[in-house]
């Protein structure tokens, strides 16, 4: 089994604890200069994501309503409900970048997420997540992780200081041990 450098670093930090020297080596996504502004799904409300993320462990996920992984919405919502009071924030970014699997408008996406999966975690507007025209937050995440999403439901995990501590491919289950252990270590 191959592990990326980031995964090995995360595993080591999770086992040893993140001391000041190790924490400084983690790729920084949110800094005082970062302004990743994005509007909420089907809303005029615009958030500076780093302000929203500040002090929280954040799982960033690119989503799609017509994907084989769409059922992960259910586990993402369960994960959010389980850990939100301890400081976890799950955020979804619908994207139509992969096989036209998120073709709807924002209202239909919001309705689908709420009515089908009871999604309560924050969802943001449709977003480009790959390529040179990807949203700036996704460009930063891909650069820090050394990988952009290759499909829907790719997950990035940030610590409370806005540093990238994990990158998980679509097939990695939100409630699986790999992600829950990383979240618990970061909380």
Residues with active-site annotation: 67
* H or E stretch at 24: helix 20-25
Tokens of 128: 């480009």
Give the CA angle between residues 24, 149, 91 to the nearest 5°. 70
**CB burial of residue 106 (10 Å; 0-12, 13-18, 19+):** middle
Altogether, the residues listed in the chain come to a count of 187
DSSP class of residue 130?
S
> What gap in Å lies between CA 151 and CA 59, rounded to an integer?
16
């Amino acid at each position: 089994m191959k592990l990326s450098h980031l995964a090995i670093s995360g595993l080591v930090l999770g086992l040893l604890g993140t001391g000041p020297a190790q924490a400084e080596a983690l790729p920084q996504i949110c800094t005082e200069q970062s302004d990743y502004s994005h509007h909420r799904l089907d809303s005029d409300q615009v958030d500076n994501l780093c302000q929203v993320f500040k002090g929280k462990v954040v799982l960033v996920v690119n989503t799609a309503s017509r994907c084989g992984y769409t059922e992960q919405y259910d586990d993402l919502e369960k994960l959010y409900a389980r850990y939100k009071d301890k400081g976890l924030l799950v955020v979804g970014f619908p994207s139509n970048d992969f096989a036209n699997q998120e073709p709807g408008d924002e209202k239909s996406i919001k309705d689908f997420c709420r009515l089908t999966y009871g999604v309560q975690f924050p969802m943001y507007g449709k977003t480009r997540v790959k390529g040179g025209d990807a949203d700036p937050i996704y460009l930063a995440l891909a650069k820090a992780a050394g990988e952009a999403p290759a499909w829907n439901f790719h997950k990035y995990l940030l610590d409370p200081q806005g540093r990238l501590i994990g990158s998980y491919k679509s097939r990695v289950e939100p409630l699986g041990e790999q992600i829950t252990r990383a979240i618990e270590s970061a909380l």
